[in-house]
Structure 1
Amino acid sequence: MIKRDYQLKYMSWPQIKNKIDSGCDTVIIVLASTEQHGLHLAECTDEIIGLGFACGLAERLKNALVAPPIIPGLSEHHLALPGSLSLKKDVFRGIARDYVDCYIRHGFKKFIFISSHGGNMQETKTIVEELQAAHPDKLLRNTLSLEFLMKLFSSFEKQYNMPVGSCGGHACAFETSVMLYLEPELVNMEEAKAGFVGTPDKEFLDNMFKYGIVGVSEIGVIGDPTVANAELGEKFFNAVLDEMEKCLI
């Protein structure tokens, strides 16, 4: 279960003011999504995972609070499957700008962005660069990129003797394990099935761009969630947090 201790939405305004006055000058902003995650995971998966990372990072930093996650995200490639939502890029970018503008008015000085959905990551990089240029007296940092995460997933597969491609990046062994660690009641392992497992080649990318997720996996899974477990989830979770901390040094 994700702690509420650092989440702004569970605090009263006097509590928030006291936190700011006592040195909490940092806001962690999660850019998540509401989208399909295969047969076994809830559509709030990216929100839960992002919020888990944000609260874990806030606990380590000691001077940070966590904003309400920005959802939905950029999920056009998932819309073929029911329940998925997607924002237009200008709307998505505008919400992120408004978050920062509001929190600056309240006295926050540092902003850490965590994109927990791969489809948001390139846009998140652009958002952080634009906001840093607009607010040179503030500090804005981005913690994750898709390229970096895929390298990390590959290292997990080798380290824990997992099948190659099982941590494929969507409703996979990684996401399922982390969800089993954070919110197991939102995981139905009896329904877990492997989707696309392999190396994303040109044909994979062409089909993804042309048809969306269903062009590469009818069930909306990239990877193999059947090898997931909560013990792996805890290890993955802490390893990602370690890497996020390195980004902030």
Structure 2
Amino acid sequence: MTEPLRIVSLLFPNVTQLDLTGPAQVFRHLPGTEHHLAWHTLDPVPTDAGFSIVPTTTIQDAPQADVLFVPGGQGAFELFDDAVALDFLRRQAPGARYVTSVCTGSFALGAAGLLDGRRATSHWGSLPLLEGLGAIPVAERVVRDGNVVTGAGVSSGIDFALTLAAEIFGPEVAKGVQLGIEYDPAPPFDAGAPGRPEANPAQVEATRASAAANRGPLVEKAAARLAERRAAAESAG
């Protein structure tokens, strides 16, 4: 019997729910696939949308992932101080076929030391800060560098999941899922990204400034920890 494809998503408080649930809706239609939501406990985890999501497993009991996935949200930055969660990512990554994220989930991967020298993307508001964690920021909706696949902000998660589905199962399977979930975007405004004709330049500037002020120091602290970890590893070696 063929082993199932195991997708393990790291769930955490203050996750942006669509970062997780958008890809999850794609994943559930893929053949022979298990999707595990891992956190410290099995208690409901609050999202940034005012409702909670229930984990299916704990970090300790989660199976080895074929696809390791980290969604984003402010909670991704709070993971910088969660040594257990970061160690979980470090342990899982070597055995995973794909190491992936959506939105600011890439910052958690970076804080775990998994994006060194890798091209990666994130939400446009925080994207430049990703360089501080060793990544090469790329302003594209889905970015692949080797076995690392990252999606940009929030709604990009569906594009990311369909891209991954095509990579693993083939384009026809991915197209069938896209049709089944009626993913046929036709937004009422052309304002969905910086530089689009109807995007508000003042909002773009304010969002980037807020990210730099509020998240920049957290990234600097995480980068310092990474440098200490590398130095310790070199000394031990």
- TM-score using structure 1 length: 0.35
Relative contact order, CA 8 A, sep 6+: which one is greater? Answer: 1
Would you tell me which structure has more helix in proportion to its own residues?
1
TM-score normalised over the length of structure 2: 0.37
